[in-house]
Amino acid sequence: MHLDFGIIAGALPFLWKGFQYTVQLTAISAIGGLFFGTLLALARLSSNKWLSMAAAGYVNLMRSIPLVLVIFWFFFLMPVILQSLTGAERPVQIGAERTAIITFIMFEAAYFCEIMRAGIQSIPRGQVNSAYALGLTYGQAMRLVILPQAFRNMIPVLLTQTIILFQDTSLVYVISATDFVGAASKIAQRDGRLVEMYLFVAVVYFVICYTLSYLVKRLQKKIAVIR
Amino acid sequence: MTTYLLNWGVFFEELPGGGEEYWQLILYGVGWTLAVSACAWVIALIVGSIIGTIRTTTNPWLVRFGNGWVELFRNVPLLVQMFLWYFVIPEFIPPLKGWIVRAEPVHAQFLSAVLCLGLFTSARIAEQVRAGIQSLPRGQRAAGMALGLTQPQVYRYVLLPMGFRIIIPPLTSETMNLIKNSSVALTIGLAELTFRARELGEYTFNFFEAFTAATLIYIVIAMTANRVMARIEKNVAVPGYIAGGGGK
């Protein structure tokens, strides 16, 4: 068969736009997911039974159904939820791209929660006790003593999860958002050039993810030595 | 203000074409999800075990090949791999392309999905098999060698039986990941569970009921897989070595 990689050059500006959205989605979801995931982890470890049960239920639910189904769920539910929040006449449409951001924050929160929970639990009990003995409140103990150490210990795992997230964002394709894969597939179908386009996409993802996971591995070694 | 009306009876309504009811549509979807997952799981376990094992051998070329395999399948998104298997690879294999053109679309979709998910998961299982073997005390290999076993025999009788027992818990979560990942096959048109749930929603606008059904079915499948693996773990536990007993 005849391969013509020239068609990619012409499509680069559009692909770049899609790629920027992919990076943006990854970054926002990672930061948002980490924020809510940490809150969820604190809730799961809370001594309040109801709070910890609710958090555990949310996390287990998110982790037991496919991401594709989660994306469909949010794509269907967001307009209805926004409608009831704003009291609008009709369901509020915010578009696939913005729905995807909210979906991924909520979905990743469940995964980051488990990482942060492990991180918090890896801190010796004595640290909490000494923080309280110094007169710190719960919030201060968490913010100043426990969480900084938990973050530090978990940095390699958090980064690895972010690389997985970077790959998973490609699934926004199912609600026709124009991320990197979405852009490539639109061009591929317009020009009838699926082979070149998908090979190009695969190579780009491979190079980026391989490099990043290599860097994470090196960082891990470095941190291991310091500790 | 328009409100959403729940209609749980929708599953027992007839399809526009007549004859079948919606619950049957969902059931067919479950069938494809289970079929794809089961076939892919067999491939993943066989290939993953081989790749994982050769990564622990003393042959540097085998180790390199195994490492390359794992990196290749881990660093490309599953969706892109699905597209590669379905759209790209047949273009380079003319006989396969010829078969796809003539075959029922669902056969090509099924084959692509099984190969894609099987090899994608094989890389993850290979990583666990490697970790399982390497977690064994060094003395086990040495003892096997000292008894006069060849390298294949050491693996067959000493390292693999213990290694596989150790990795049953991570293998369980990988099995559940595989079942969840099978939903990505809807992007190449395979009518599995998530596909059917969305289809039901699009036909009837009862998205909430359809997605709820799919969610519950996925949870049931995951819990069943979890129980089965826990049972296996309990049955094969070596007394006094690994804390036996299912459940985590």
The answer on pLDDT for A39 being more than 90 is yes
Whether B233 is covered by a domain: the verdict is no
Chain segment A142-166, per-residue pLDDT in tens: 999 999 999 988 999 999 999 999 9
Domain range holding B105?
46-192
3-state secondary structure (DSSP) of residue B120: helix
- Nearest-neighbour CA in chain A from B13: distance (Å): 22
Start-to-end CA span in chain A (Å): 55
Q: How much is the pLDDT for B247? A: 39
CA distance B97 to B60: 36
Report the 10 Å Cβ neighbour count for A38: 22
* Inter-chain touch A173–B78, beta carbons under 8 Å: no
Measured between beta carbons, which residues in chain B are less than 8 angstroms from residue A168? 77
Q: Give the percent of chain B with pLDDT over 70.
A: 95
Element (H, E) at B235: helix B207-236
Q: Which region, left, alpha or beta, applies to residue B237 given φ > 0 means left and ψ of -120 to 50 means alpha?
A: beta
Mean predicted lDDT score pLDDT of chain B: 89
B210 and chain A in contact, CB less than 8 A? no
Chain A with chain B: Cβ pairs closer than 8 A: 104
CA distance B47 to B44: 5
The CA–CA distances, whole Å, from B173 to A33, A220, B10, B69 equal 22, 24, 34, 21
What pairs with residue B14 in β-bridges?
B21
pTM summary value = 0.90
Contact present, A28 and A105 (Cβ < 8 Å): yes
The answer on pLDDT for B1 being more than 50 is no
What pairs with residue A25 in β-bridges?
none
Q: How much is the pLDDT for A6? A: 81
Q: What is the number of alpha carbons within 13 Å of residue B6 lying toward its C-beta?
A: 5
Contact present, B124 and B178 (Cβ < 8 Å): no
A202 and chain B in contact, CB less than 8 A? yes
* Inter-chain touch A80–B4, beta carbons under 8 Å: yes
* Inter-chain touch A64–B218, beta carbons under 8 Å: yes
Nearest by CB to residue B211, choosing from A76, A80, A170, is: A76
Q: How much is the pLDDT for B248? A: 38
Domain range holding A59?
6-226
CA B121 to chain centroid: 6
Residues with Cβ < 8 Å from A22, sequence gap 6 or more?
A166, A169, A170, A179, A180, A181
B218 and chain A in contact, CB less than 8 A? yes
What pairs with residue B21 in β-bridges?
B14
* Inter-chain touch B75–A66, beta carbons under 8 Å: no
Q: How much is the pLDDT for B115? A: 96
Whether B176 is covered by a domain: the verdict is yes
A174 and chain B in contact, CB less than 8 A? yes
The answer on pLDDT for A226 being more than 80 is no
Q: Diameter of chain B by CA atoms?
A: 81
Measured between beta carbons, which residues in chain A are less than 8 angstroms from residue B183? 66-69
Whether B39 is covered by a domain: the verdict is no
Residue A114 amino acid letter: E
Q: How much is the pLDDT for A114? A: 93
Whether B174 is covered by a domain: the verdict is yes
A205 and chain B in contact, CB less than 8 A? yes
B228 and chain A in contact, CB less than 8 A? no
The answer on pLDDT for A2 being more than 90 is no
Residue from B245, B247, B248 nearest B234 by CA: B245
pLDDT tier at B245, thresholds 50, 70, 90: very low
CATH value at residue B60: 1.10.3720.10
CA distance B164 to B130: 10
Chain segment A113-143, per-residue pLDDT in tens: 999 999 999 888 899 899 999 999 999 999 9
* Domains contained in chain B, number: 1
Whether A15 is covered by a domain: the verdict is yes
CA distance A198 to A192: 12
Place of tokens 């994608």: B120
Report the 10 Å Cβ neighbour count for A185: 25
Q: How much is the pLDDT for A37? A: 96
The CA–CA distances, whole Å, from B139 to A126, A166, B154 equal 37, 41, 12
> With DSSP H G I counted as helix, E B as strand and the rest as coil, what are the percentages for chain B, rounded to 5?
80, 0, 20
Chain segment B91-111, per-residue pLDDT in tens: 998 888 888 888 888 999 999
Q: How much is the pLDDT for A91? A: 81
Contact present, B56 and B217 (Cβ < 8 Å): no
CA distance B87 to B208: 33
A79 and chain B in contact, CB less than 8 A? no
Whether B142 is covered by a domain: the verdict is yes
* Inter-chain touch A69–B183, beta carbons under 8 Å: yes
The answer on pLDDT for B242 being more than 60 is no
The answer on pLDDT for A25 being more than 70 is yes
More confident residue, B51 or A192: B51
The answer on pLDDT for B3 being more than 70 is no
Chain segment B48-70, per-residue pLDDT in tens: 999 999 999 889 999 999 999 99
Nearest by CB to residue A174, choosing from B72, B181, B187, is: B187
Mean predicted lDDT score pLDDT of chain A: 91
DSSP per residue, B55-116: TTSS-HHHHHHHHHHHHHHHSS-HHHHHHIIIIIHHHH-HHHHHHHHHS-HHHHHHHHHHHH
Whether B116 is covered by a domain: the verdict is yes
Q: At what angle do helices A194-226 and A147-168 cross, to 10 degrees?
A: 170
ipTM summary value: 0.91
Chain segment B193-232, per-residue pLDDT in tens: 999 999 998 888 888 999 999 999 999 998 898 889 889 8
pLDDT tier at B123, thresholds 50, 70, 90: very high
The CA–CA distances, whole Å, from A159 to B9, B50, B73 equal 46, 29, 19
* Domains contained in chain A, number: 1
Whether B105 is covered by a domain: the verdict is yes
B87 and chain A in contact, CB less than 8 A? yes
Chain segment B127-163, per-residue pLDDT in tens: 999 999 999 998 999 999 999 999 999 999 999 999 9
CATH value at residue A97: 1.10.3720.10
Q: Give the percent of chain A with pLDDT over 70.
A: 98
Residue from B206, B175, B181 nearest B193 by CA: B181
Whether B106 is covered by a domain: the verdict is yes
Q: How much is the pLDDT for B4? A: 66
Whether A1 is covered by a domain: the verdict is no
Six-digit token string for B184 = 């990505």
Q: Give the percent of chain A with pLDDT over 90.
A: 71
CA distance A151 to A141: 14
Contact present, A155 and A205 (Cβ < 8 Å): no
Mean pLDDT of A82-102: 86
A213 and chain B in contact, CB less than 8 A? yes
CA distance A43 to A52: 5
pLDDT tier at A198, thresholds 50, 70, 90: very high
Residue from B43, B48, B15, B36 nearest B184 by CA: B36
More confident residue, A35 or A93: A35
- Nearest-neighbour CA in chain B from A163: distance (Å): 9
CA distance B44 to B115: 9
* Inter-chain touch A66–B79, beta carbons under 8 Å: no
